Structure 1
Amino acid sequence: MAAVLEENGCSPPAGDSDVEAGDGARHKLESLLNRNMRIEMTDGRSLIGCFLCTDRDCNVILGSAQEFLRPSDSFPVREPRVLGLAMVPGHHIVSIQVELESVASPQYL
């Protein structure tokens, strides 16, 4: 019998352990929402912005994003370029670093 696909194209979970693992990953992503992060890209650029969402292709949407170029011989360190809302294709992401929350920062619910 052919596998049943849900409306979004995903297969239904095989067992409870798969559901728990998916819930853990979902909670981890939810904990990163609205946190500042730095994304290093394959072409050497870095984007810093507020994590808003991602999709199944690992594309990341950043709000209030700024672009930083890697300094080289021809380009000295410059001021960041303000992008605003930016989509970073998942296949261009080399690394992601999440900013730690400071103890002094106010906690919002």
Structure 2
Amino acid sequence: MEYVAQYMGRWMEVELTDGRLIRGQMLCTDRNVFRSEERWSGETGEPRAIGLAMISRQHVVRIALLPAAQYSDKDADLVL
């Protein structure tokens, strides 16, 4: 847990297995964080803002830390 804790509050870009990129701030982690799920597979082709995303490890291709200086809370696409 200490390893993961160093990333809390940091800005990240997460690449998913389906090619989508999600940028946001990591606020929590827990393997038992939800009991049900909802999926959306609509293809809009345009970036969209979402409030919160829970991403299963199996869907992560890459995680990159982003420079905090270029982001503020109002710039967030979402909170991870």
- So what's the TM-score if we normalise by structure 2? 0.59
Structural mapping, 1:1-109, within 5 Å: 26-56=1-31, 78=46, 80-102=47-69
Residue segments in structure 1 that go unaligned for 5+ positions in a row: 1-25, 60-68, 70-74, 103-109
Bigger proportion of residues as strand: 1
User: Residue by residue, what CA displacement relative to the aligned partner does 1:1-58 show, whole Å, maximum 9, x if unpaired?
Assistant: xxxxxxxxxxxxxxxxxxxxxxxxx32311110111000000000000110122348x
Greater gyration radius: 1
Among all aligned residue pairs of Structure 1 and Structure 2, give the percentage whose two residues are the same amino acid: 37
Q: What SS does the corresponding residue of 1:28 show, helix, strand or coil?
A: helix
TM-score, length basis structure 1: 0.45
| Contact 2:7/2:26 (<8 A) preserved | yes
In structure 2, give the amino acid aligned to 1:95: R
Secondary structure of the structure 1 residue equivalent to 2:26: strand
Q: Deviations over 1:89-108 (max 9, x none)?
A: 21111010112445xxxxxx
Note the residue ranges of structure 2 that are not aligned, 5 or more in a row.
34-42, 70-80
* Equivalent pairs, count: 59
CA RMSD of aligned residues (A): 2.4
Q: What is the identity, as a one-letter code, of the residue corresponding to 1:48? A: R
Q: Aligned partners of 2:65, 2:3: CA distance in 1, in Å?
A: 12
